[in-house]
A and B are shown apart, each in its own frame.
Chain A
Amino acid sequence: MRIRTKGQGQELAMLLPALFFIIALIVTPFLLSVWFSFTDQRLVPRPIPTKFIGTTNYERMFVDPLFWQAIWNTVVFALIVTPVQLAMSLGAAMVLNSAIPFRGFFRSIAILPLLLPMTVIVSIWAVLFRIPAGPFNAVYQWFAGQGNYVDFLGNPSTAMLSVVALSAWATFPYQMLIYLAGLQDIPQDLYEAAKLDGAKPWQRFRYITWPGLRNVNIFLLIITTVGALKLFTQVDILTKGGPNGATTTIIHYLFKQGYATQKVGYASAVAVFFFLAVTAIALLQRRFLKNEGEA
């Protein structure tokens, strides 16, 4: 196939600034990471030269149980948080798109989490999770009796679910706003016609709303999944990857290797693996989920 460039000089010129930044800020760092991943590069200067060590970093990475635990935790987090967050977002968007009283006020309230930095949100949730008498445990004690509490963050079986709950709440308004825009794009006469035909609310959702949001769903599924795979801030502040690695994610693992123990070469191998894995997942999602009108 021959790419037609004649007469497109102006368009190409307009692409140049974006192309420059993509090459400088994405392509070049990635290529450097690939190179570093085959060396024993360290974070700080050292008197012995950096050596090319072949695939040693990759070999060590693949036999490190903590690496696989981080992969597992990241996948579990993404598999849980993505549907939960999308369901929350869609539900909230549908409520805020309906004719409820004070709709403008509630729409403003709903995007509040987006206005707070993640570090602040996590600090607030750390207090909510506190034992033995934090707000969540106060609710728990209402049912389970005084003196009982759950160490949400200290128990390996509840720590990841706690991070899921916090993460879903903290970022769902972004998806909600996109769903809201998607809902407003669906022609109202479709709903009116369906009502005249006697369609129930569930049927209207099933046959009008859901298909009408197809493109929005595909977009949100991809960005929410990729965002979930990059989980770091919540874990680093709230649990530091614990207890016993129960909330260690791949980015947290990468950070500890590259920054805390200064092994930039090894961390680069993890970064390259992560980049390829996320790209593969995003491509697979695009392969199986076609936009409306695509073949």
Chain B
Amino acid sequence: MNRILYSGVALATCMMSSHALAGQLTAWVIDGDSEKPYFTQLQETFNAKYGAEGITLNVVPIPSYNEAIQAATLSGGLPDVIMLDGPNMASVAWAGTIQPIGDLLDPAILEDLLPAIKAQGTYGPQEEFYFVSPYDSGTILWGNKAMLEKAGVRIPTSVDDAWTRAEMGEALAKLAALPEVEWPLDVKMNYGAGEWMTYGFSPFAQSNGGDIIDRQTWTAEGTINSDANVDTLTTLQDWNKAGYIVPASAGDNKFYGEKTAALSWVGNWMWPAHREGLGDDLVLIPPPAFGEAGPISANGGWGWAVPSSSSNLADVKVFLNYAMSSEQVAAYADTTGYVPSRASAIPLSKTYGEGGAGELFAKLAACCAVVRPVHPAYPVITNAWATAVVNVLSGDVDVKSELDRAAKTIDQDIADNDGYPPFGQ
């Protein structure tokens, strides 16, 4: 039946598809402006290195990427290598669209991957490796140093001296009292009830000992609506009621443009805008410790996967190991601004290496990143959590009821899919 749903797009994608030929590799990649120079470099350097051995690489940026992948899956037109967004990997693996790549990657590379990157690529009860990302992302508190100093707020510089929840609450109260501050904390409510609400807010829950699903039993009841999560979201709701959080209708630029917010909780993709807006006043502050687990950062992003239909595995192996070499991983990071996913690539990066401006990001990625649940029900899990977070931060709703509803939605979906076998068996 899905064939009918996608037939139109499938027809178009068939035109773009490439069939595996020995020595000729095709990789589909996302069509982003910031990634484009890297992919051009990847193709050129790969072909220069392996062309003489008879292996050539064709990197194809694909617009409307997810739709194209779905359509090509149905039409049997997937290339040798594809990119996937980390949180979507589990549902693609569950559908049988991609194959394990643990045997294709050099064990030294697997060993060298940051822990959360390894977790992001590991799927199923058998813990097979399906997906590898050349980079990691992360969330951090960005601060306006002038405002923080004026308010007399201590500025943490490392994970070890991160603010506690109480300390952050006090800091927000002091910052809110400054005449130039309208709302002290921007948590990007303007991004709406999408993936950001899971990416950006589940770290607070995890820091307080909670999570959005039990990763052993794969049930949401008792975890997403746990007392710890109620406590976490109640604090955020209280901050919102106290007028500490920039509302969605206030737009995106209160921190870096109008400079009427003193702190911003957002990922590393906002770095260029923050740097341009605040200049020397910009400080990077570790995530707050909401509870016993200490500071937690989000993680994950796009990476490489190999379709089940791909048969040219000897050449794919060469490509994967080249794309995940320390030099290429560092090049990806320096071109796009994301954190290198290999420990050995971090010192090679100008931004994230020792003394680099993004050193804190690299440290967070190594010590304190928690992967989003690698489970085929992830689309439902993230949507249920995001809806609850947005509702809690939009008014005076009962936190427990919102989380109970999320638990019911997730568990019902998992039951509807027979537990997503082999999960739950």
Contacts and interface: CB of A to CB of B under 8 A. Distances in A.
Q: Do A and B bind each other?
A: yes
A131 B249 contact: yes
Contacts of A245: 391
Given A131-B250, A132-B250, A152-B249, 19 more contacts: A41-B1, A41-B2, A42-B2, A44-B95, A47-B94, A47-B95, A48-B421, A129-B249, A132-B182, A151-B249, A154-B394, A240-B192, A242-B192, A242-B193, A242-B248, A243-B395, A244-B395, A261-B379, A263-B413
The 3 A-B residue pairs with the shortest CB-CB distance in the complex, in nearest-first order: A243-B394, A240-B192, A45-B95
Contact of A130 (B92, B249, B397): B249
B4 to A, nearest CB: 7
A132 B246 CA distance: 10
Contacts, number: 85
A43 interface: yes
B96 interface: yes
A46 B376 CA distance: 10
Nearest to A53: B416
B70 interface: yes
A261 B387 CA distance: 12
A36 interface: yes
B394 A242 contact: yes
B212 to A, nearest CB: 15
Interface string A212-248: 0000000000000000000000000000111111000
Nearest to B417: A48
Interface in A17-60: 32, 36, 40-48, 50
A153 interface: yes
Contact of B1 (A50, A131, A154, A263): A50
A46 B94 CA distance: 7
Interface size class on chain A is: 20 to 34
**Is chain B's interface secondary structure helix, strand, loop, or mixed overall?**
helix
Interface string B172-204: 000000000010000000001110000000000
Contacts of B397: 244
A71 B182 CA distance: 37
Contacts of B5: 43, 264
A129 B249 CA distance: 7
A285 interface: no
B97 interface: yes
B247 A154 contact: yes
Contacts of B91: 44
B394 A244 contact: yes
Contacts of B383: 256, 260-261
A156 interface: yes
